[in-house]
Chains A and B, each alone.
Chain A
Amino acid sequence: RSGCSGGGMASCRRLSGAGLREVLGPAQGLLFDCDGVLWAGERAVPGAPELLERLRRSGKAALFVSNNSRRSVAELERRFSRLGFRGVRAEHVFSSALCSALFLRQRLLGGGNGNGSGAGRVFVLGGEGLRGEVRDAGLRLAGEGEPAPGSSEPVRAVLVGYDDQFTFAKLSQACGYLRDPQCLLVATDPDPWHPLSDGQRTPGTGSLTAAVETASGRKAVVVGKPNTYMFDCIVERFGVDPSRTLMVGDRLETDILFGKNCGLSTILTLTGVSRLEEAQAYMASDSAAAKDLVPNYYVDSIADLIPGLDE
């Protein structure tokens, strides 16, 4: 049975042998999450660079969709190269930083790449990678610790991303801007935490967004997975057919649900956040929402996909 996502619950089947060829054969392309799928920290997952090379040789597209809002796509292109992945260009990479900037450009500039005057400024809670993407989209940034709202060009959006310099003062400043109901509240992604290589966890954008939402009484528009906006960006640029595309990820609540929401068949890889037991628990659950978190297939690592491709 080919990788076609119809109605009914996914069944979390191990992908191997003949099943591999049946699923990969008809696929025109694969969307990959990055952290926990292609690499963990500074180490590529063994066999991952070879998989991408084999996909290229098989004529299948490989695109990348990441909730990580720390890096610009230019930095990500360099990272791919540094970790041994050949032929990945910035245009293939859809990060939540890039897509949040595109989203804000649409809403504040109406899609064109104007000079930004009159469109208002964006207050960004995040690092230089995120700020750069917002600037590259033609938007102007509000500075930190600025005087009261109304004293200069209005702030028309607050963008919450991964911000390891987050402070109470910045939270307070964001809330000041959000008193204007016309000011958008946007979050790059909903992730509550991310794994570190030493087994620790680092708080994610989701935890910071929760603080801003609570203080402002507003709900953020979340750009990243599992919401589908990043898929819209991919389709706009590359015209992908969901029925012939597979989503590969390591996090059930973001990657697998994203695949389900976009009409893609999903493959869970076990080199990252989610455990097989969690997928099985969702499968056994009575809740309809839980069923959407069950992947169609799983592999121990994406290197396991290699035998499914032609020599």
Chain B
Amino acid sequence: DPAVRAVLVGFDEHFSYAKLCQALRYLLRGGADCLLVGTNRDNRLPLEGGAAIPGTGCLVKAVETAAQREAFIVGKPNRYMFDCVASEFNIDPARTIMVGDRLDTDILMGNSCGLTTLLTLTGVSTLDEVKGHQESDCPTRQSLVPDYYVDSIADLLPALGD
């Protein structure tokens, strides 16, 4: 079969040992000529009632551990996707707001890319988590703190003219 030039790990609810084995085979055979790419590192996807399903990050970690190499991660909080958007739409970060519900992906990416960041509380992250990061001495944690927050994005409506 033609040489495999990349292993791409995304959300795969049919992930199995056999697939992990196959991925390892391609990465070993290809060496530096075979990319290892992950769509994102989200470790879990929350469901109602506090339950969660494993996220893509788990599968990426499994492949990285077996192959003993690090994946290139496309998704937030890495900046690749912002770079894609910015190059296509001529975005000025100083005049752009990133709106998200997750501190370790949305807000972190926004802050890293020089955007104004707005946390909405209808999703994953809570205000208590924000306070925890704010009060910490750690600069990494500080970069998870949004510039602003709203209870819901509906709260933005009054600011927009008719």
Report A's interface with B, CB cutoff 8 A. 163-169, 171-172, 175-176, 179, 192-193, 200-204, 206-208, 210-215, 217
CA–CA, A212 to B68, complex, Å?
17
Nearest-CB residue, chain B, relative to A193: B66
Residues of B within 8 A of A212 (CB): 58
- Contacting A at CB under 8 A, from B1-25, are 12-18, 20-21, 24-25
From A163, A203, A204, A214, B58 is in contact (CB under 8 Å) with A214
B53 CB-CB contact with A under 8 Å: yes
From A163, A172, A210, B61 is in contact (CB under 8 Å) with A210
B64 CB-CB contact with A under 8 Å: yes
CA–CA, A179 to B53, complex, Å?
11
Interface string of B121-138 (1 = CB under 8 A from A): 000000000000000000
Interface of B is mostly: helix
B50 CB-CB contact with A under 8 Å: yes
Report B's interface with A, CB cutoff 8 A. 12-18, 20-21, 24-25, 28, 43-44, 50-55, 57-59, 61-68
Nearest-CB residue, chain B, relative to A215: B54
Find out whether the CB atom of B61 lies under 8 angstroms from the CB atom of A211.
Answer: yes
From B12, B51, B66, A207 is in contact (CB under 8 Å) with B66
Find out whether the CB atom of A207 lies under 8 angstroms from the CB atom of B63.
Answer: yes
CA–CA, A163 to B50, complex, Å?
28
CB distance from A306 to the nearest CB of B (A): 35
CA–CA, A42 to B15, complex, Å?
30
Given A167-B17, A193-B67, A203-B66, 12 further pairs, Cβ under 8 A: A164-B17, A166-B17, A167-B15, A168-B13, A175-B53, A175-B54, A203-B17, A203-B20, A206-B66, A211-B59, A211-B61, A211-B62
Ranked nearest first, the 8 interchain pairs of A and B with the lowest CB-CB distance are: A215-B54, A203-B66, A207-B66, A207-B65, A211-B58, A166-B17, A211-B62, A210-B61
Residues of A within 8 A of B28 (CB): 200-201
Find out whether the CB atom of B24 lies under 8 angstroms from the CB atom of A166.
Answer: no
Find out whether the CB atom of A171 lies under 8 angstroms from the CB atom of B54.
Answer: yes
Find out whether the CB atom of B66 lies under 8 angstroms from the CB atom of A215.
Answer: no
Find out whether the CB atom of B51 lies under 8 angstroms from the CB atom of A179.
Answer: yes
Residues of A within 8 A of B66 (CB): 192-193, 201, 203-204, 206-207
Find out whether the CB atom of B65 lies under 8 angstroms from the CB atom of A165.
Answer: no
Check A175/B44 contact, CB under 8 A, given A166-B20, A201-B28.
yes
